[in-house]
Structure 1
Amino acid sequence: MPVDGFYVDIVRGDCITKSLLIEIQTRNFSAIKRKLEKLLSSHPVRLVYPIAREKWIVKLADNGDGPIIRRKSPKRGAFEDAFLELVRLPELLRNPGFSIELLLIEEEEVRRYDGARGWRRRGWVTEERRLLQVVDQRTLSTPADMLAFIPDTLAEPFTVSELAAATARPAWLAGKMAYCMRKAGCLTPVGKRGNAILYARRLSD
């Protein structure tokens, strides 16, 4: 539906000026950042981001007559994977009209062989993604909501390495988590231990 010069996936409500605008984005938050900022100037906006906890790869023959191959991907997604994209717009959570709904899902990714277009995957191109089910959900409405990703058992102050160990996540992902929380204003640097920055939770301004 067109709203303020943009096409919006879902408009929830009877009156456009008071309705909640819902955008569904599966990747690349950079591509949608400007659109969200413009819409937030006059509407509440919710960004829905699905994360594949489990994925099945379905391969179809190029002519549609060959055998269908279906296998389970070894990759398993988690809510923390959202920070791979949240680094593009962490400051938006400071806007009271903005929220992010994270969906943990099971899906099928359907690929078809096309040697002319699929050179990056040895001839296979993604044709469509099929939602099988939503298995969990989490909503981030304020910067403080991101603090739920930090275990209560992690004492302050802490480093990115300690955050990685406490969450059982790679250090590079813990670094993105800390960056997003710092930019959103719910995590603040309080000093250094050697070359490592020390962080503490910040519940309010």
Structure 2
Amino acid sequence: MSIGVLREGPLHAALKDWLAEPGDRAEVRVDRFHIDLVRADGELVEVQTGSFGPLGPKLDLLLESHRMRIVHPIAAQRRIVRVDEHGEVLAARRSPKRAGTVELFHALVGLPTLLDHPNLVVEVILTSEDHVRTATTARRRRRQSDSGERRLVEVLERVELRRPDDLLSALPPLPDDAFTTRELAAALRCPVALAQRAAYRLRALELVEAAGKRGHAPLHRLRRASSDR
């Protein structure tokens, strides 16, 4: 079994199997990196369940000479499942949290202009997942911690992002007038902290621009070329 397989979690493994097509090769070494799937047409496919930051060295080396696809799952629906030490289900409840494509801004940490590369496709997969946790939580530095593990239940939707403008099309409509990050949060239906990340990354992609201030709050607005969509 390869190093890549040994390190992958159940969600990663399930998505890799779900994505596999006839002619694909799994866990292939390309240059000095292991690649999740290599398509028959040569496209390199990486399933990334967390931040894209760790992919930086791999992308730096491979993107100039290979077509690549990063597949990122977002739990649009989630169930919290508690299990005992034998894996038997003790309790299950539906999480009220609903997530959408806006969650991608968490993953783009450190690589805000990633969507601007012509050899790269980012595919967001909206999923139904079980988040499986143990019956008891471990204590770390006086705080309870249980990262659990994500398990795929169903793929609900696939969204391909081939260029920066595709990101705007995949989000709820942004305000037509200049907006604060708090107003952006309301438009995207997300926490203000995530809206702040979104504003930073949208500026880096030149999809929005600075628009002065309202009081002490910085303002942003859609760039003219992007707003005519």
Q: TM-score range by the shorter chain?
A: 0.7 to 0.9
Unaligned runs of 5+ in 2: 1-27
- Alpha-carbon spacing, 1:119–1:183, altered in 2? closer, same or farther (3 Å): same
Aligned to 1:72: 94
Opposite residue 45 of structure 1, the aligned amino acid is: M
Residue among 121, 126, 130 paired with 1:104 = 126
1:170-181 maps to which residues of 2 (within 5 A)? Answer: 170-181=191-202
In the TM superposition, what is the alpha-carbon distance from 1:150 to its structure 2 partner? 5.1
Residue among 50, 58, 62 paired with 2:81 = 58
Aligned to 1:195: 216
Aligned to 2:35: 8
Q: Give me the CA root mean square deviation.
A: 2.5
Q: Does 1:119 align with 2:139?
A: yes
Opposite residue 153 of structure 2, the aligned amino acid is: L
Unaligned runs of 5+ in 1: none
Return 19-28 or 66-75, whichever deviates more: 66-75
Alpha-carbon distance between aligned partners in 1 of 2:147 and 2:222, rounded to the nearest angstrom:
43
Instruction: Compute the TM-score of the two structures, normalised by the length of structure 1.
Output: 0.82
Residue among 83, 88, 94 paired with 2:105 = 83
Opposite residue 7 of structure 1, the aligned amino acid is: H
Contact 1:52 1:106 (8 Å CA) reproduced: yes
Contact 2:53 2:108 (8 Å CA) reproduced: no
Q: Deviations over 1:86-134 (max 9, x none)?
A: 233111111111121111101123334577xx335858563x4321111
Residue among 94, 97, 117 paired with 1:95 = 117
In the TM superposition, what is the alpha-carbon distance from 1:65 to its structure 2 partner? 7.8
Q: Does 1:138 align with 2:159?
A: yes
Aligned to 2:49: 26
- Alpha-carbon spacing, 1:192–1:150, altered in 2? closer, same or farther (3 Å): farther
Identity of aligned residues (%): 39
Instruction: Compute the TM-score of the two structures, normalised by the length of structure 2.
Output: 0.74
SS at match of 1:89: coil
Equivalent pairs, count: 195
Opposite residue 123 of structure 2, the aligned amino acid is: E
